[in-house]
Structures are given as structure tokens and as C-alpha cells.
Structure 1
């Protein structure tokens, strides 16, 4: 039933994509609503609610978007869907931004960052930073509050940095568009235009869809307006208008109409200016986008004032102030009263009064923001103190666990010594029993000479039968003790594996709490070494042979785990593992696994930075009758290569890894070589004498 439902959904999406975009959007919403009537898993139901809410948001139906977002939350919480909770808070942040509820928008953005960080989604974190940039741009835009604009620029630049690392070109174009808008608010119009052109170049390089150009064309038109290039502005804005009309993007159409009205106003074409302005008013009142509504009212007030229609100019100015008061919570009663007094005055007096009122409002807003900053700094310091206390508590716990680990190792060694002593005692008893059996047999033979063959044979048979029962009983005891020993060893390996998993988790938690990249990298290296040892113990307790490791499966699992840890997938990475030896003693497998872990890690870190087709070859060969019997390990990559002299250098970056490989090589009595052969080739030979030890 579920497979049929998903097939039907896919077919529906294909059919809708071929129709008119507006109709397709509405049909998609209807089909998703129908999907909610079926019995769905919580995760599927949550994503369906999200898709409906996102569709309503794109149509600027903000109330409907919030209505369908609300039930999504409980389904994501029920399934502990961190990514879903992040998407819920991100879309809520955007809707609240357009409604002018800035405080709620910031809280949702912070929650989204927290969830996306926990589930390791840097691309989604970049989206949150992008919307935080828009939020602070909106708070500081019209009043030119530099502190808010600079904070918005900071968040946009953070989004650009992440998207550049991820090579997310589509989102990178959006980042540059909004960075350009902030530069315009800071009156750096040429730098803003450069950002818009960068976004345009990115879309051209990626052969983007027409809908990806609509915002860029609109912003280039607005920038041309500011710089007095009104004819060029009309060209750009008409391109954006054609795309938005086809897609029925209400909010974007309002931006186009508003900017076209401004262009025609300065081109001395009042009829066209008024026509586009009225179109913007008709659409913006449907969108319920408070910041956009404010900007349209401001434009209409200025336009009607320029053509001498002061009554309409005053009406739109009052509505603009009303929205500004609801957005920024400023006491602008004095400004509105002064505007009413200037209604009867001439045009020049009116404009001067409006500018004076805005200057006063700006001063008050700056004072309020500075006060809020002090509170924010105090809150940050308090949070920092709480985090320091939390880190100290984690360190204390780690110390206690380390002590418990050492004590457990001591108890384990003590038990192993006791088991060895019992084994020797059992062997000695077995020898005594054998000697006794031989002596009784000889005694029976001598007695048979005295009392006769018949009685001697009967007596010997009875004695031999009794001894056989004793030997059988002792043999059963030895088998039982051997099984107990094997069980104890498997339990030992299981507990060691669990302890290593705890250490690995602690290292991960510690890395997540650090901001120093070097410290994070150092902890991750330690975590990878611990995981390499943990794999050995896991394979030991999963088999009956507690001292033998399947080295072929172990090296395959280790290399694939590290490949995924560094962000590669089998589809875009050539991983070759050739292991001729099936099994290996744990005393050799453990240090050999650590050496392979270190060499593979070095390849992933330094070899594939600029390599489009990365290759890693791991080969373990066994030669028995050769001139140099033993096993040979080869690890080769297709990176730029490293010289043997560079490998021997003792510097901070490679000193510990090199010393670890050298120490483990000496422990294995092996010989390590490093050469450059279409990349870096590391070869380790372990002699047969060490394997037999």
C-alpha cells in the first residue's frame, strides 16, 4: 500500500511540473492535504506538513503556513527527528520575520542552529545564517542603524563561507544578493552592485533556471534607481516582473512594482509611476508582510508628495509610521503629530519635518539598541560561565572513568593469571592420573602372575573401568574449564570494546564543545585511533577464536569507516582493498591496525585536497617460502606525494603520528619504507619470526 502511495505521489509531481506553475503549486498542496488522510509514519507526516506550509509561504500566505507548521512539531519531537526540528524552526523564523515579529524570529533561528549542529548539517546552518542576516538587515534597514546592518552582514558572510566550502553555488548566489542589499543600506551602492553581478555570474555558470534570476534582476534594477540609471533600472525590473508574473510570486511582484514606480517617478512619468504603485499596494495588503508593506507605503508617500498630492502622501505616511511603531516599538507620536501639522504647509516644509522626525526616531532606536547590547553581553558572559562549569564537570567524569578503566584492566589481568594457574594445576593432575593408571596396570600384571590369569584379568578390568571413569570425569572438567576460559575472554573483549566506545563518545562530546579547530582535529584523531582498536575487540568477542582476527574484514571495515568519516562515498572514491591473509593473531593485528589507521588518515587529510578522482589502495600480502618470509603491508594514494626526508622531519603537525608508526613498527620487529610512486606509497614488512612469536 505504501509503495503504491509513493508511486502515485511521484506520478502526481511529474504531471504537475508540466502544467502552469501557479496551478501546479495549488494542485501540489491539494495532493499533500490528501496524503494526510492516509495512515502515515510520524516522520512522513511531519515532512508532509512541512511541504504544505512551505508552499503557502511561497504564496505569501503566512497564516496558512503557520497553521500547517504547528502540527509538524509534535511528530518531529515524537521521532526525535533533529533535522525535522531544525527545518520547523527555520521556516517559522522566516515567517515571523515577514510578520515583523523579530524577537520570535531570532529565538527560532537560534533553535534551528542548535538542531542542525547536533545532526551535522552545515548547509542548513548556512540557511539559518542567511535568514539571520535578512532579519538584522530588516531591523536596521530604513533607519540606517549601522550596528544592526553590520550584524546582518556578519551572518551573511558566515553563510557565504559555509556555502563556498560546500560548493553550494545556488545558495551562494542568494547570499551575495542579500549581502549586496545590506551594502546598499550602508549607502555603499557600488559594492552592492558588485555583489549582484557576482550572483548573476554564478547563475550563468551553473545554467540556472529563470526563477533563480528574478531576485537578482530586481536588485540590479533597484541599485540602478539609486545610482540614477533609471532607463537601465526599467530594463532589469521588467525582466524580473516577467518571471514573477509566471510564477505568481506575490511578494516578489510587490518589490518589482514598487521599484518600477520609483524609476518612472524620476523619469517624470507620473501616470506609470502611480499605476505600478497602486499595483504594489493591492498585492502587499494581501501578503501581510509587515516590513515590505512599510517600504511600499513609504514609496507611495514620497511619490504622491512629488506630484503635489499631499493628502494621499499624508495618508500613506501615517500608515507607514503605524507599521514602523509595531515593528520597532518606538514612541513616534511626536513625529506623527508633527506630520499632521505640516499637512497644511507647503511641500518643502513637509519634507523637512519628516526628515527631522526620522532623525529623532533613529537616535532613540540607537539608544535602545545600545541598552539591549549591554544586556546581551551580560547574558553571553553568564552563558560562558555556565559552559565552563559544564566542561569542568565533564572533565571530572572523564577522570573518574579513566580510573575505573585502569582498575578494570588490573582485575582482568589478575583473573587471567588465576586462570593460567588453574590450567597448570589441571595439567599436573592429568599427568598424575596418567602415572597412577600406569602403575595400577603394572601392579595388576604382577598380581596376575600370582593369583592366576582369570582373576588377574577380572581385577584389572574392574580397576581399568574405575580409572576410565575418573579420567572421563577429569576430561569433562577440563572441557568445562576451557569453555569458561573462552567465555571469560569473550566477555573481556566485549567490555574492552564497550570502554573504548565510551572513550570515543567522550572525545566526540569534547570536540563538539570546542571552538579551536586544532584541538578539535586532535580529539578526532584520538577518536579514530580508539575506534580502530575497538573494531579489533569487537571482532574477537563475536567469534569463538578469541585470539584470532579476520584481518581481511577488519581492514575493509576500517578503511570504509574512515572514508565516510572524511566525507567520501563509494560513488566518488576509488577504494581498493586486497588482503591475501585471512586471519592474524591479535598481538600482530592490533598494532598493524593502528598503523593502517594512521597511514589512511594521513592520505585523507593531505592527499586528496585537489584530487578530482581520489584513489586509495591497501594491500596485505603473505609470503611463506620466499627469501624474506612474512607479511607485507602497502598503503598507496594518488596525491601529490611526500618525500622520505619530509616524513622524517620532527615538527608539530606530523611528529606524533610519525612516532606512533615508528614505535609500532619496532614493536612488530618490522621494516617501514616510504617512497613516491604516482603519489605516496608506504610499505611495511613484518618477518615470519614475529608472526610465530
Structure 2
């Protein structure tokens, strides 16, 4: 999930970055006279061929001995928009790979301005996609989303543009979701991208997209989809004749999990050449591939120098998109080596980097708004100047006080409407910003809870005492109930409330899945009325429910039978909310251990809700726990 397409004419991903098998850069002669002759020959072509020809010409010089000088010569010779746009879009990724982020961004924005003046919507789409790719590679999500949405608008506005370009829009949206950590949404957008070109067997980006999907489903362990897309990818490459092997990675070693020494040696060679050429996409994917091979062969310590080198190189070049994957792989390597301190430190480093990226996004968003505001001010100044001229002309020709008054009040009313419109727009923008910030808060709270859960897990791995391990496990369950709340708030449009049906069912399922049953699992059923409660109400209820279910799983059934069952009910009765948990187990003891932490916790939380928590024998057999809540905030 690391390769970003820029212009639509380009070979995507790996093919635009690698010259690995022959290990040489094309020795293209750089001469102003030769370049001028080549550009002049392009200008003699029919107009519909100029774009493709100029693209191919600029591509040929990226692998020359001195690409920067070649770009400067090409930029100084021609001012034809289609030639300059393709030149800029081809060289922009080169500057980014060299670590010159400012130069890369400048070329892409210049190309966008030229394409809008030139009036070719396909070129404009290419420029917007290139800007999206740039911001994805430096992990600025707000700006990437802005330009990707504009690119999609171009496709919606101009129906004569090829529909397969939706593949680029959806693929880049999957990259944005990857940066945000929304892996479910990432998979959905990859599937949408595939649907855009699935019926085009010879599509130029088919192999690249299939590579991404195989890699994605391998990481998320979706065996069914992995099998399907691996078969598609294998069939695609069997039909290909690779006349230019320097444009492709060895698919059998990168995709098929080959951990033999021969495959590792080939990957080491690819990594070495990629590093020397600053081909960061290839360096990233091959580092992940070789690390997987070392883990599979039981040699995790051999992956350390490759991962540390790649993280260092990507960070130095401000090439942030792949950094999260490398850090996650490094954490897996440390855990495989039983180096919990290293795993803990890399977890903190990853958290700090993600927080830094979020802060960078906010700063980028502020900068974008500043530019938009200044542009708006200039446009308003021009409008005011034009209005004043119209007013003076009307005053000279009207010659009457009545007409002057009518024009004056008309002008004032128009200005008032503009002010109201600006105020409305500002309020809407402010509300959107607050919603984004609120979602970010929930995301950070969720991440913080997940770090706590990870620390508890790491601690439990070093504890031999069974009671201590059980206590830490119960603490993890309590943390998970709160993680689930903030995860739902982050993923939903409703930012201040939680749907009871979704939350209670998900929480119950998580607790049952995390519990280790000695024989068969206990059956359970739910009857929950859907309603939306605020976070102040749902959090203590979730913690109480966690304790009640845990008690049932631990104590209600000494021996699980086919008839063993737990029932969860939640409804509103009058002015109260009633939560009932019933089992048909062995029943409550005559005396409840009031000193246990779980009982104390439930009573304390019940007081916060002004609730009455009771335990009584179930009608037939077992125990009925009932929580009647009188203090709550029902949103809908």
C-alpha cells in the first residue's frame, strides 16, 4: 500500500521508480540543442499526440546522468502548457524522492495553474492526482483529501473523460484511510478501485493495483480475498511478456512469501540498489518483504538493520507515508526476539510520529485556509472596485435623486447579503473544523487507551502468578469497553452519542471472544432497544456491563452444558433505563463478596448514574442482575 500514481499516462508505482535488474541508470546525453530538437519535433505532431510524446520525452530524462540539469533545460526551452505540465509532473516525484519536498510541491502547483488555464480537464485531473499523491507521501491527510475530492469532481463534471480514472481516485482514498489507520475503509476503497478496471484485462494499472490488494489482504489476514486476488495477479503476470524487466520487482519473491536464502539474497540486492537510487517506494516494500521472510524463517534479528536503515532514510527525506508500516514491522520483530523494551520504545516512537503527523495536518489546513482567505479578499476587492465604477456611471447618467437613492439602497442591501453569506460560510467552516478536531480527540483517546491495553498485555507476558495475570486481563477488558466507545465516536458522524444496540452487542461479542472456554462456549442472546446515549451515560453502563458479563463467564457455569445460556436485555421503562443480565447457571451465593473490586466498581458507577443495582434468583434457574438507571442523557 505504498505506491502512489501521479500522471495518468505513467506506469504506476514500482514501474516509475525502479531500474533494478540491470543496476544501471540510462546514460541519456544531456544537450540543450538535442533537447530543443526533440521538443521541436514533438510540436510538429498532431495536437492529440503532443501530450503523450512530451510525457515520454520527459520520462526518458529522469534516468539520465543529471536529471536536474535536464529538467532545467526543458523548462527553459518550451512554454507550451502540455509540454511544461508533463515535464513538471514527471520530475516532481524525482525531487520528492531526493528529499526536496518544496520543489516537488512547487512543480505540481505550477502544473495545476497551467492546466486550468489550458482548459484540458484530463490534464487538470492529472495535476490534482499528482498533488494528492504528494500530500499522501508526506502524510498530510487534509490536503490530500482536498485535491482528491477535486479530482473526483472533474470526473463527475466531464463525462467524456475515461471512467477508469476512478481507479486512481479510489486508490488514493484508500491510501488516505491507511494513514488514518482506518483499515476497513482502506479495503473498501481498494475494492472500489478494482471494480473500476476489473473488466479491462490489459489496463496499464491492473498489475499494480492487484499487487496492492494482495499485499493489503495479506497484512489484514483476509484469506478469502487474498486467495482471489493472488490468483488474479498470477494470471495477469502469466500473460505478460516482460521485455523491460528493470520496470518490475520479482513477483515470486515480493508477493508469494518466499523465505528461501535465494529469495532473501535477491531482495537484499534490490534493497541495496533502491537505497543507492533513493527509490523510497521500492526500498519500503522490499524492506517489509525481507522482514517477513526473516520472521518466517525464525531469524528476526536479521531484519533489524534493514528496518532501521529504511526508517532513517524515509524520515530524513520527509517521506512519511510508509513510516508507519516499517515501525509496525519493527515492533513485530522486537516481539519475536522477546525484546519487550524495544517493542515498547518503538510503540512510543510510532505514537509520537502519528501525533506529529496530525499536528502537521492541522498546520497545513490552516495554511490552506489562509491562502483561500487571501484569494477571497482579492476577489472581493475587485468586486468592490467594479461596483464603485458601476455606481459612478449610473450616477452620471441617472441625474436624479430618486434613482440615486434606489441604487444606494440596492447596493447596501447587496453588501449586507454578502456579509451574511460570508458569516454563514464562516460558521459552517468553523463547525466543520470543530467536528474534525472532536473526531481527532476521540481518535487520540482511543489510541491512548490502546497503548494502555498494549502495556498491560506486555506486562502480563512477564508475570507468572495466575491471579495477577487474571487481574491484568480484567483491567484490559475494562479498558477495551472504553476503547470501543471512542472508536465508534471516531468512525461515526454522530460525535457525542453512542447507539446502545451497536455498542452493547459489540462489547458482549468482544468479551466472549476474548474469554478462553474450557470446553464449549456459552450461548448468549440479546434484546436491546436502540437509542443514542451521551458518552457520560454510556461509559459507566459499559463498565458495569463488562463486570456483569465477566462474572457470569467466571462463576455462573462450573461446567458448560448445551443448555447454558446468558440473556442481555435493555429497554426504557417509564422514566428509567433498565439493563438486565440473566443466566441459567448455578445462581448467586448466599453472601456476595462486597469487598471484591468488581462489586465496589459497579456500586460506585451505579451511584454516578443514580441507579439501583440488584441481584436476585432468576425465575427458573440462575441469577438475574438488574440495573435501573434514573440519571441519563438520551440524545435520540
Do these two structures clear the TM 0.5 threshold for a shared fold by scoring above it? no
Determine which structure has greater relative contact order: mean sequence separation of CA pairs < 8 Å that are 6+ residues apart, divided by chain length: 2
**Which range, TM-score by smaller chain?**
0.3 to 0.5
TM-score norm. by structure 2 comes to 0.38
* Greater helix content: 1
Q: TM-score by structure 1 length? A: 0.35
Which structure's CA Rg is the greater one?
1
